[in-house]
A = this chain, B = another copy of it.
Amino acid sequence: MPIHSAALAATDATGQVPTLATRFQAVRAATLAIAAPLSAEDCQVQSMPDASPAKWHLAHTTWFFETFLLAPNTPGYAAFDPAFKVLFNSYYNTVGSFYPRPQRGMLSRPTLAQVLAYRAHVDAAMLTLLADAAAAERLRELVTLGLNHEQQHQELMITDVKHMLSVNPLAPVYAAADPTQLRANAANGWSTFTGGLVDIGHDAASRGDFCFDNETPRHQAFLRPYELANRLVTNREFLAFIEDGGYTRHELWLSEGWDCVRQNQWRAPMFWRKRDDAASDAWREFTLRGEHALDLDAPVSHVSFFEADAYARWAGARLPTEAEWENAARVSEANAATSLAQLFGVLWQWTASAYLGYPGFAPAPGAVGEYNGKFMCNQFVLRGSSVATPAGHERVTYRNFFQPDKRWQFMGIRLAR
């Protein structure tokens, strides 16, 4: 289950369409809620170059609204601190220089308290801006992008914090009631799809709701008949792969994956652990509620593309392409009787598709256009959404993407054949 209230839901509990200002407040509050259990020290640490400190996420998402909304649209807007322009830019070359990513954890100043003040300052100015109905209408698209951007960082905050806590020998607890705990809830089996010439991608024009540029343009793809597994691969199934020598048999791995296994001495998914001194040799797992016995019936998580690909080969199956996944999910949307489970809200699902632009893809001009297109190289697409994805953020056309050796996100495996 996603952990956040439905901040961007089309309608609220009473069936009303919330205003843009209401949505803005809800999303911004959800970010603070994720940070609430964290100390100033927790928010400071960057545990690897791929991750960012929670404090940085809190500031960067705020920087987005200050830079792209307030500065151009609020006459006389005074920046909270001009130095933040560089400090909290992430990769937007167009907006000027940026602070090197691997050193984000070096910045003890501004403190967490100052960053929270920065958020409050920007939130107040944003709400003033959005109180002007004409401005709100004119800026709706960009504000919505900012909110979706912030939701992406909400998920990253959770996964970055999990990694940060995991490197601490004390195995600290984020929250006693772990919002990302996975449970078994799906029956095995295969669903069959006929394929043919299918539509892929978001129909921005006709649907009207938000999407990222990389989900467009809608286009046709030709699919052979195929089958998808009804549920994700479980820890029990993945353990059988391990016990069958999965991590020691080169013939199961891509060449680069095999190098990766040997170099990093991978023996199991990312957060699995065995206690050297334990009487029992049962596997345990580090989670946001500390270290616990591995739940064998839960879906296997925190596996890389390389591990997903090797597992599929071992199992005599393969990973689905993103077109196969999207077509199946669309069929499921249209037909509640389908048996496909765990499409959303459990684990992102690795596909066999490299992350590239769709036919006719053109990134938006300017800084916003740097958002997705820049990364169309050496990454693989994941589909669905995860237990850490904010509610309302997922879509059947959503394209997540990571390098094939990454595994600190909530990533799992759905087989195809």
| A→B interface (CB under 8 Å) | 39-45, 47, 55, 83, 86-87, 91, 93-94, 99, 103, 105-112, 164-165, 167-170, 172, 197, 219-224, 250-251, 254-258, 321, 352-354, 356-357, 359-360, 370, 374-378, 404
A168 contacts B360, C-beta separation under 8 Å: no
Chain B nearest CB from A158 CB (Å) reads 15
CA distance A229 to B295 in the complex (A): 57
CA distance A250 to B167 in the complex (A): 26
Q: Enumerate the 5 nearest inter-chain pairs by beta-carbon distance, A residue then B residue, closest first.
A: A354-B354, A41-B108, A255-B374, A40-B40, A93-B250
Q: In the complex, which residues of chain B have a beta carbon less than 8 angstroms from the beta carbon of A221?
A: 222
CA distance A354 to B403 in the complex (A): 13
Q: Known A222-B221, A224-B360; judge A41-B112 contact (CB<8 A).
A: yes
Q: How many copies of this protein are present in the complex?
A: 4
A376 contacts B41, C-beta separation under 8 Å: no
B109 contacts A251, C-beta separation under 8 Å: no
B354 contacts A106, C-beta separation under 8 Å: no
Pick from B45, B106, B112, B220: contact of A47, CB under 8 Å: B106
**Chain B CB within 10 Å, residue with most, of A87, A111, A168, A377:** A377
Chain B nearest CB from A363 CB (Å) reads 10
Chain B nearest CB from A342 CB (Å) reads 25
Q: In the complex, which residues of chain B have a beta carbon less than 8 angstroms from the beta carbon of A224?
A: 219, 359-360
Chain B nearest CB from A332 CB (Å) reads 22
Pick from B108, B220, B222, B378: contact of A44, CB under 8 Å: B108
Q: In the complex, which residues of chain B have a beta carbon less than 8 angstroms from the beta carbon of A251?
A: 93-94, 370
Chain B nearest CB from A168 CB (Å) reads 6
B255 contacts A108, C-beta separation under 8 Å: no
Pick from B39, B109, B165: contact of A172, CB under 8 Å: B109
CA distance A370 to B377 in the complex (A): 24
CA distance A167 to B321 in the complex (A): 43
Q: In the complex, which residues of chain B have a beta carbon less than 8 angstroms from the beta carbon of A352?
A: 356-357
Q: In the complex, which residues of chain B have a beta carbon less than 8 angstroms from the beta carbon of A321?
A: 359
Chain B nearest CB from A265 CB (Å) reads 14
CA distance A304 to B325 in the complex (A): 32
Q: In the complex, which residues of chain B have a beta carbon less than 8 angstroms from the beta carbon of A374?
A: 254-255
Besides A105-B105, A352-B357, 5 other A-B contacts (C-beta < 8 A)? A42-B108, A44-B108, A87-B169, A254-B377, A255-B375
Q: In the complex, which residues of chain B have a beta carbon less than 8 angstroms from the beta carbon of A222?
A: 197, 220-222
Closest to A91 in B: B255
Chain B nearest CB from A312 CB (Å) reads 12
Chain B nearest CB from A99 CB (Å) reads 7
Q: In the complex, which residues of chain B have a beta carbon less than 8 angstroms from the beta carbon of A40?
A: 39-41, 44, 111
CA distance A47 to B164 in the complex (A): 17
Q: In the complex, which residues of chain B have a beta carbon less than 8 angstroms from the beta carbon of A107?
A: 45, 168, 170
CA distance A266 to B385 in the complex (A): 39
Pick from B41, B257, B356, B360: contact of A354, CB under 8 Å: B356
Closest to A403 in B: B378
